[in-house]
Amino acid sequence: MRPFIKSYSSHFIFFIICFSSLSVDPRADNVDPQLINVPLPAFKSSLEKTKELVQNVASTMSHMHAGEDYENSTVVVISYCEDLLNETADVLDWSLSTIDDLKADVVSHMRTWLNISQSKEKICVDTFQNMIDSNVAESLRQMTKSIDEVLGMIQVQQQHHLHRHNSTAAPGSDPALSWTADVTVSQDGSGKFKRIMDAIAAAPSHSQKQFVIFVKKGVYKEYVKIDKTKTNLVLIGEGMSVTTISGDRSNASGWATMKSATFDVRAEGFLAMNIGFENTAGPSKGQAVALSSGSDRSVFYRCKISGYQDTLLVLSGRQFYRECTISGTVDFIFGYGTAVFQHSRIIPRKAIKGQQNTITANGRLSEDSSGFSFQFCRIEADSDLVGNVNSTKTYLGRPWGKYSRTVFIKSFMSNIIRPEGWLEWSGENNLDTLYYAEYKNYGPGASVAGRVKWPGYHLISEADSFAVDKFIGGKSWLPSTGVPFKADL
């Protein structure tokens, strides 16, 4: 990853979407006015025109990949936004497929998806406006405006409840024990499937209920991708060190960073327990993602996430990591999403000669609510660094995005952490717009006496705004998972 740069300005045709009058009685089309407040043909037309706009902007972005004026970092951003546009088009496709059989739960789900898509696209608007191409930014604004208008036609409110078909775990017990598997994956043939992807394919699409996949112990050498349609999946292994999903894609072997993930989940409501995700490409192969999550309201409990550079991509959405072990070297926890890490082990590993470790590279692109919050975690050197921590300098993070935001709260820091704590990305860029903070950390690496003196670095006296409840709204959706969490600080 490299810092974002300005690029050329390309000509782009703007698509203006005109909507039908909202004054017609919706009941003329036999649609319950409590679902949508316009006639069905007008609603369908708006969805179709919005989809056309989305596809045209996505097409423009796809042609920008080959631009000689773009550096790799800018291509990463373009690819990210293009992927979001394609996901939005999928949402609109699904919405159109349900148009002749609208029900309250379907329309509520439609609202949820469009809200998520819109919030993600607004990040791209700011990035294109400030750093890449203002013409495309204007087209994105028109698109988000049209999504706003579609949302204005929907009467059903977004629902956050989840139908769970199992009992809640008793306090102090393993939440995984409270689940009943819908299907089992086993390499020895004792389950219904031998491959995880086959089990995922068998899961219902657009489900409002959790579908549980139990994966028996073993190393599963496959690349898993869960698209947006496979909502509310639960993946449970037999232990983070005995059930492992393994891959080795990397930049060095020809894979773009965001396409290199061993495990990639985009569907909302994903839950993983007692399982490992690894990328074994090695320290010399560049960016090589083990786990990529673009799943809103996703939870990872007692998971091992192992790699070197760019191990964990927190792509987008609200995410919660509890009692996980995450290891790597350069920027090994990175991305644009909003994540809380509680009671997890963060393990810097020995990097190749000339490299330095940065635990985080938050890519926040605007002054939105995203960022990373580490609470009650332990930062300790891997076995290959213990006893020689100076062989690879290790920092808490560096600013990938202009408004990069990361906080460490009540966490143990071993002597692996450098006295200055944080590292510049490129000279003094972003040092006044980033937000890095520390609160009541302890251990030999937690001393703040030698910390950086940047305008954006803070020693804070309270951290409530970064707690689970306020930062990711956890009280409204985490209880249904059965996973323990501390809502406040």
Positions marked active-site: 310, 331
Q: Pairing relation of β-strands 371-375 and 338-342?
A: parallel
Q: Give the number of residues written for the chain.
A: 489
Q: Which strands form 224-226's sheet, in the order they lie side by side?
A: 224-226, 263-265, 291-293, 312-314, 333-335, 357-362, 394-397
User: Which contacts qualify for 97-105: CB closer than 8 Å, 24 or more apart?
Assistant: 99/40, 99/43, 99/44, 99/47, 102/31, 102/32, 102/35, 102/36, 102/40, 103/35, 104/34, 104/35, 104/156, 105/159, 105/208
Cα–Cα distances in angstroms (integers) from residue 403 to residues 154, 336, 423, 432, 435, in the given order: 33, 10, 15, 9, 7
- Interior CA angle at 260 toward 144 and 317, to 5°? 35
Residue type, 140: L
**Phi, psi values for residue 408, rounded to 5°:** -115, 125
> Residue 58, SS3?
helix
Give phi and psi for 373, each to the nearest 5.
-130, 115
- In one-letter notation, the amino acid at residue 255 is W
Instruction: Retrieve residue 468's tokens.
Output: 């689970």
Distance of CA 249 to CAs 65, 81, 279, 447, Å? 21, 22, 7, 38
> Do residues 474 and 341 lie in contact, with contact meaning Cβ atoms separated by under 8 Å?
no
**Dist. CA 256–CA 79, nearest whole Å:** 9
